[in-house]
Amino acid sequence: MSWAVEEWKEGLSPRVLQKIHELESQVDKLKKERQQRQFQLESMEAALQKQKQKVENEKNEGATLKRENQSLMELCDSLEKAKQKLTHDLQVKESQVNIQSGQLNSSKKDIERLEEEVKR
């Protein structure tokens, strides 16, 4: 079949045939170059998609970490308030214990005094 493709060249001068051969070689070279560039383009597009996906994943992870951080901050605030309440309650209880301890000592003294009176 290649002979049919070459048929149109019959009768052309050697100089024209040489030029045709050069042009055909150049076309083949350009076709190969185009294929290589197309492959490079496709590779770069794939790499770009990978990078976009990576960026998207990082954004999602960042948002997740932000939400988690906010939640932890709220938990810390809640725990701090609970600690303050417990500290206050403890101080109130200690105060009550001190009052009752004083009352106990006073009662002991009264009992001792009464026991002394009873012995007399």
CA 76 remoteness from chain centre? 21
> In angstroms, rounded to a whole number, what is the distance separating the alpha carbons of residues 77 and 67?
15
pLDDT, average across residues 9-14? 88
What pTM, to 2 d.p., does this model score?
0.55
pLDDT of residue 3: 53
Residue with tokens 């997740």: 64
Return the H-helix or E-strand segment holding 102.
Answer: helix 14-119
> In angstroms, rounded to a whole number, what is the distance separating the alpha carbons of residues 100 and 113?
20
Domain ranges of the chain: 12-119
> In angstroms, rounded to a whole number, what is the distance separating the alpha carbons of residues 55 and 62?
10
> In angstroms, rounded to a whole number, what is the distance separating the alpha carbons of residues 100 and 108?
12
Q: Which two tokens stand for residue 81?
A: 């308030």
Does residue 79 have a pLDDT over 80? yes
